[in-house]
């Protein structure tokens, strides 16, 4: 899917605050966010800080999106536990699903193997967008942003979209 | 001055409906004890993130004054926040750090803030003003000045570790804290 179409889709569905830390899987999206003046975007310095910004923006009336590499889940898990999960704040988290598709990159292997388990153990709802990462994984061709939005607003909890390599071009 | 006295001075010198993000632990509890306000957001945990939440509010609602009531331990843990605030320069933000050089809530274990200059770091990061307040006499003036002028401002308030009164936990649930705060921003 074209990053521009994906961003349009998110904005049409009311997502209006973007923050995060880049991943090479998100290069087309990050490049767009960097230049698109009509989009509210703050490049953050850490993933937990990005989540704090997003939660502040939500309190002030925005519907936020946080983007990060799955390595950032490690940095921000406690922030998820102590902010949006207990206060109940909707945050869409775009996370690159590094690891399974980066077999030659050791640094992504451990987090990649456990990304879904971590989300499951925190009872965080997620879906996968892009190439299959595990044989058992459910793969969506294009994410149903409307359904995700409904979930976020109804449950007031974070939702993760795990984005595979090449899903956004 | 001790921390509770500093918080009381700040609350007594508010102009009106300023939004306050209160750091987790003793700062939230003492702020609640001094004066509970619907414009107060209390962090129950999220060590290191009061400034992130405050910054997210400030950039979203530039017409509202936002005060971050932070501690030295929190600032040290979320050090990147200083850089981000300095880079974005939200004019409506006042960042107050109650510096007791200790992790007060967990039993006053020392932090490293006695060995560094937080106010100078804030200034080097790009805050529009930064100062270090030592006495009760200076604090009201410095605070009121910061509220009146374009920020972001950094006010390091040196406080003692003395606890004159142990304040209770916030009696609201996290969703209750959120709802009330969110409603005053509608």
CATH 3.40.50.300 for domain B3-183 = no
Task: Return the sign of the alpha-carbon dihedral for residues A163, A122, B178, B7.
Answer: negative
Q: What pLDDT, on the 0 to 100 scale, is given for residue A161?
A: 97
Residues of A in contact with B46 (CB under 8 A): 52, 78-79, 82-83
Q: What pLDDT, on the 0 to 100 scale, is given for residue A102?
A: 84
pTM: 0.96
Give the chain A residue nearest B83 (alpha carbons).
A45
**CB distance A51–B178 less than 8 Å?**
no
B78 to chain A, minimum CA–CA distance in Å? 8
**CB distance B57–A61 less than 8 Å?**
no
Characterize B11-27 residue by residue with b for buried, 16 or more Cβ atoms within 10 angstroms of its Cβ, and e for exposed. beebeeebbbbbbbbbb
Give the chain B residue nearest A44 (alpha carbons).
B84
Which pLDDT tens digit goes with each residue over B22-38? 999 999 999 999 999 99
Total beta-carbon pairs less than 8 A apart between chain A and chain B: 101
**CB distance A59–B48 less than 8 Å?**
no
Transcribe A132-162 into DSSP letters: -SSTT---BSS--HHHHHHHHHHH-SEEEEE
Report percent pLDDT > 70 for chain B.
Answer: 100
Q: What pLDDT, on the 0 to 100 scale, is given for residue A103?
A: 78
Q: What pLDDT, on the 0 to 100 scale, is given for residue A149?
A: 98
Q: Residue B85: is its pLDDT beyond 90?
A: yes
**CB distance B56–A89 less than 8 Å?**
no
ipTM score of complex: 0.97
d(CA B31, CA B5): 10
Which pLDDT tens digit goes with each residue over B48-58? 999 999 999 99
d(CA B119, CA A144): 47
B174 touching A, CB under 8 A? Answer: yes
A140 phi, psi to nearest 5 deg: -105, 140
Residues of A in contact with B175 (CB under 8 A): 86-88
Residues of A in contact with B85 (CB under 8 A): none
B140 to chain A, minimum CA–CA distance in Å? 27
Residues of B in contact with A50 (CB under 8 A): 52
Q: What is the mean pLDDT of each run of 10 residues along chain A (169 residues)?
A: 94 98 96 94 98 98 98 97 98 94 86 96 95 55 91 98 92
Q: Which domains does chain A have, with CATH numbers?
A: 3-163 (3.40.50.970)
């Amino acid at each position: 899917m074209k990053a521009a179409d994906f961003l349009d889709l998110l904005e049409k569905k009311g997502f209006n605050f973007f923050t995060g830390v880049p991943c090479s899987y998100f290069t087309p999206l990050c490049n767009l966010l960097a230049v698109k003046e009509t989009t509210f975007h703050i490049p953050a310095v850490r993933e937990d800080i990005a989540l704090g910004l997003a939660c502040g923006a939500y309190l002030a009336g925005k519907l936020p999106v946080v983007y990060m590499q799955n390595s950032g889940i490690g940095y921000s898990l406690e922030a998820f536990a102590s902010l949006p999960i207990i206060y109940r704040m909707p945050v869409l988290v775009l996370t690159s699903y590094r690891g399974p598709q980066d077999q030659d990159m050791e640094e992504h292997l451990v987090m990649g193997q456990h990304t879904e388990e971590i989300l499951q153990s925190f009872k965080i709802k997620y879906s996968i967008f892009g190439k299959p990462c595990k044989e058992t994984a459910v793969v969506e061709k294009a994410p149903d942003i409307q359904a995700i939005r409904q979930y976020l607003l109804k449950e007031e909890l974070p939702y993760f979209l795990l984005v595979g390599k090449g899903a956004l071009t | 001055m001790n921390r509770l006295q500093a918080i009381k001075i700040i609350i007594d010198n508010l102009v009106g409906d300023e939004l306050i993000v209160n750091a987790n632990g003793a700062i939230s509890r003492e702020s609640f004890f001094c004066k509970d306000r619907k414009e107060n957001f209390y962090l129950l945990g999220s060590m290191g993130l009061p400034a992130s939440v405050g910054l997210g509010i400030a950039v979203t609602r530039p017409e509202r004054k936002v005060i971050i009531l932070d501690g030295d331990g929190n600032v040290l843990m979320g050090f990147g926040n200083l850089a981000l605030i300095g880079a974005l320069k939200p004019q409506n933000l006042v960042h107050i750090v109650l510096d007791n050089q200790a992790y007060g809530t967990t039993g006053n274990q020392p932090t490293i803030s006695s060995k560094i200059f937080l106010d100078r770091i804030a200034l080097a990061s790009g805050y529009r003003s930064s100062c270090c307040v030592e006495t009760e006499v200076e604090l009201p003036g410095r605070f009121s000045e910061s509220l009146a002028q374009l920020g972001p401002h950094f006010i390091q308030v040196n406080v003692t570790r003395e606890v004159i009164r142990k304040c209770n936990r916030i009696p609201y649930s996290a969703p209750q804290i959120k709802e009330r705060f969110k409603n005053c921003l509608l």
